[in-house]
Structure 1
Amino acid sequence: MPEIHFTKGHGTGNDFVLFADPEGAIDLNAEQLAAIADRHVGVGGDGVIRAVRSANLPEGEAALAEDEGAEWFMDYHNADGSPAEMCGNGIRVFAEYLTASGLVDLGRSDTLTVATRGGVKDLQRNQRGFQVDLGSWQLDGSDPLVRARGVSVARPGLGINLGNPHVVVALSSLEELAAADLTVAPVLEPAAPEGANVEFVVPHDPLVADGVGHITMRVHERGSGETLSCGTGAAAAALATRHWAGEGAPHHWRVEVPGGTLGVRMWPAEDGEHVSLSGPAVLVYEGTLSI
């Protein structure tokens, strides 16, 4: 029976099972990946991340054509075994895993370039842990009606694409946010063709302090259910709140999630406005798993 040496890690409570497969020789199916992520009979996590050299995957070869520095590919799967384009918390934990494992040598001022299904991403260390440039974003124009258990009436959502799909919903109070039952997937009308992560957001009062916007968020992630944090979801929530706030809203945000605090920043770039995410990346323990 083949064995995998794995590491468990998390970013603000969003947890992952990571393992290295530089040559791309370990081919796990969705059922096996879901078994690893199962919290009752597996290691347990919101997702599984395989570290593969980009040259050994078709998706990685495409990323190398975009940026030859993207040596490593983050092969990310949700807890149900389905593949996902990107994970903002996961890529920070991935960076910590690569450096702690000696797979890359990253100095304090160096940039780590990582290939993902959502494109090539750049990371640097900072005081929070890591900051990742998530790239450009866009309103996707879907703006569905969102129904969630525990929320008394359906609310309009704002569709945002960060390389993966999000729908952000504003709620009126922290009490309403706490009452939402996100163990059940929110219903989108119309439904998202490939599913979507759904973020429920409450702006703080005051919204802005010392030039920084402040919001609280919970999230239901497609393929994983409610998680303690979602990195790209935090970015989407900050972008949506700034959009609703209108002209004069800040470009720096603090996003409170059940697992901690994340930082989001927006700035102009040649290919459109970029958004970055910063936060901790913690490796918890290692083990060996029989598949």
Structure 2
Amino acid sequence: MVDFFKVHGNGNDFVVLDNREGRLSGADLRSAAVALCRRRASIGADGLMAVERTEGADFRMRIFNADGSEAEMCGNGARALARYAYERGIASSPMRFITESGLIEATVEPPFVELDMGRVDLAGGIFGRSLRAGGVEFPFVFLTVGVPHCVLLSDEEYSENAMREIGRTVRYDAELFPEGANVTFARRLPSGDVAAVTYERGVEDLTDSCGTGCVAVAVAGVLVWSLCAPIRVVNPGGTNTVRLEFASDNASARAWLRGRTALVASGTLFEEAWS
């Protein structure tokens, strides 16, 4: 039997395991993600996160998608894990933790958590290009914000089925995105905010929110649509606010991501949950 927590950041939900004693190997965590993230048959989640010991930071964050693949980073996941670590006394605020994409600093003010995402490389991004998917021509922006993101810019609103079909097509476009990509549909709102829905690599479906996707959307909103930061990015599961500071040569931008988190449940996993 293993103890677990269930957390979410704006509807992006995760199972959390405390692995600071190192009882679970990477292979164990991958198989646990596949088993535990199944909705209806198990707890159900977009992914699984583990807290592990590390040097030079309060803890190490590992995150596994529902298909068992290990992700470099997840903005909403990192916010939710920071809230978990704060409430469990693992770390105080502000805290610093290691992810596969680097060091993250989080400030926790329950229920809100703000992440200092560090610098986003803009020089290595793709701007000013279009792609065709689902019979539609989309201007797009490609950026790596911990994980690769393709932001499709449109003032049209698409159905969930259309976004799944288009998102799946673009996510597997190996010519443009050799490592695959999260695909976010971004649409300007009359309020000046941006509506965004993400088809997530690894989850292989639409999710209620994507934190790193919100950062990519905010950068695209400033550079393509001339919006002014901070930018409120409205996801189906809630709203994240992104602050940006651009370098003088626009080769990079420092980003901060803020939004709600929630501790949903804690309990014990039985052997049947893993089978």
Q: Secondary structure at the match of 1:236?
A: helix
Query: TM-score, normalised to structure 2's length?
Result: 0.87
Taking the aligned partners of 1:288 and 1:5, their CA distance within structure 2 comes to 4
The residue number in structure 2 matching 1:264 is 242
The residue number in structure 2 matching 1:112 is 95
- CA shift, 1:126, in A, is 3.8
The residue number in structure 2 matching 1:80 is 67
Does the aligned pair in 2 maintain the 1:148–1:181 contact within 8 Å?
no
Does the aligned pair in 2 maintain the 1:148–1:154 contact within 8 Å?
yes
Q: Does 1:167 align with 2:150?
A: yes
The residue number in structure 1 matching 2:162 is 180
- CA shift, 1:269, in A, is 7.0
The residue number in structure 2 matching 1:211 is none
Q: 1:189 to 1:9 in 2, by over 3 A?
A: same
Q: 1:9 to 1:146 in 2, by over 3 A?
A: farther
- CA shift, 1:262, in A, is 0.8
Does the aligned pair in 2 maintain the 1:137–1:161 contact within 8 Å?
yes
Q: 1:206 to 1:93 in 2, by over 3 A?
A: closer
Q: Does 1:157 align with 2:140?
A: yes
Q: Which runs of 5+ in 2 are unaligned?
A: none
Determine which of 93, 106, 124 is the counterpart of 2:107: 124
Does the aligned pair in 2 maintain the 1:135–1:162 contact within 8 Å?
no
Q: 1:156 to 1:230 in 2, by over 3 A?
A: same
- CA shift, 1:29, in A, is 5.1
Q: 1:20 to 1:206 in 2, by over 3 A?
A: closer
- CA shift, 1:11, in A, is 0.6
Determine which of 214, 218, 230 is the counterpart of 1:252: 230
Q: 1:159 to 1:103 in 2, by over 3 A?
A: same
The residue number in structure 2 matching 1:35 is 35
Does the aligned pair in 1 maintain the 2:239–2:259 contact within 8 Å?
yes
Taking the aligned partners of 1:147 and 1:218, their CA distance within structure 2 comes to 18
Number of aligned residue pairs: give it: 261
Query: TM-score, normalised to structure 1's length?
Result: 0.82
Does the aligned pair in 1 maintain the 2:49–2:62 contact within 8 Å?
yes
Q: 1:125 to 1:216 in 2, by over 3 A?
A: same
Q: Does 1:205 align with 2:185?
A: no
Taking the aligned partners of 2:20 and 2:130, their CA distance within structure 1 comes to 43
Q: What letter is aligned with 1:197? A: N
Kindly report the root-mean-square deviation, in angstroms, between the aligned alpha carbons of the 2 structures.
2.3
Determine which of 197, 202, 206 is the counterpart of 1:223: 202
Taking the aligned partners of 1:275 and 1:241, their CA distance within structure 2 comes to 13
Taking the aligned partners of 1:163 and 1:72, their CA distance within structure 2 comes to 18
Deviations 1:40-99 (A, max 9, x none): 322110110001012xxxxxxxxx4xxx2x120111011111011111100111011112
The residue number in structure 2 matching 1:195 is 180
Deviations 1:236-283 (A, max 9, x none): 11111111024xx31201011000111100125799521010001101
Percent pairwise identity:
33
The residue number in structure 1 matching 2:46 is 46
Q: Which runs of 5+ in 1 are unaligned?
A: 55-63, 208-213
Q: 1:206 to 1:120 in 2, by over 3 A?
A: same
